[in-house]
């Protein structure tokens, strides 16, 4: 995680992340396994909302929060590892290189 990074809870980084096996197990234990989908390669992701955001992203008045924050996926816990030009936009980040 980057030092001195302060999340503004804008929700821009919250797209459906790829899941590690341990992430799937944690979500299953809290009853959220129905939110997990697999792609054509067999990789697991959290289901996305109609707007392309993570199914666990919730808006509270003007800020966003994570419905499964305590058991959020590894990539979400490690975010951000790199920001380009200070942007939180997901296309600026390289998450899919994780196994």
What is the spatial distance between Cα 73 and Cα 16, in angstroms, rounded to a whole number?
10
CB 20 within 8 A of CB 74: yes
The number of residues in the chain equals 99
CB 67 within 8 A of CB 58: yes
Q: What residue spans define the domains of the chain?
A: 21-92
Q: Residue 98: what pLDDT?
A: 46
E-strand ranges in 1-99 read 36-38, 44-46, 57-60, 63-66
Q: Residue 3: what pLDDT?
A: 73
Query: What integer is the mean pLDDT of 27-39?
Result: 93
Q: Residue 6: what pLDDT?
A: 81
pTM: 0.77
Residue-wise pLDDT for 6-17, tens only, equals 888 999 889 888
Helix (H, G, I), strand (E, B) or coil at 45: strand
Residue-wise pLDDT for 42-90, tens only, equals 999 999 999 989 999 999 888 999 999 999 999 888 887 766 566 776 5
Q: Residue 99: what pLDDT?
A: 41
């Amino acid at each position: 995680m980057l030092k001195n990074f302060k999340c503004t809870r804008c929700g821009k980084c919250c797209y459906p992340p790829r899941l590690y096996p341990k992430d799937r197990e944690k979500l299953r234990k809290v009853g959220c396994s129905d939110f997990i989908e697999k792609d054509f390669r067999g990789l697991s992701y959290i289901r996305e909302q109609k707007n392309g955001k993570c199914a666990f992203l919730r808006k509270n008045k003007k800020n966003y929060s994570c419905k499964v924050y305590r058991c959020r996926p590894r990539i979400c816990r490690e975010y951000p590892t790199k920001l380009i030009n200070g942007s939180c936009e997901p296309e600026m980040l390289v998450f899919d290189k994780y196994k």
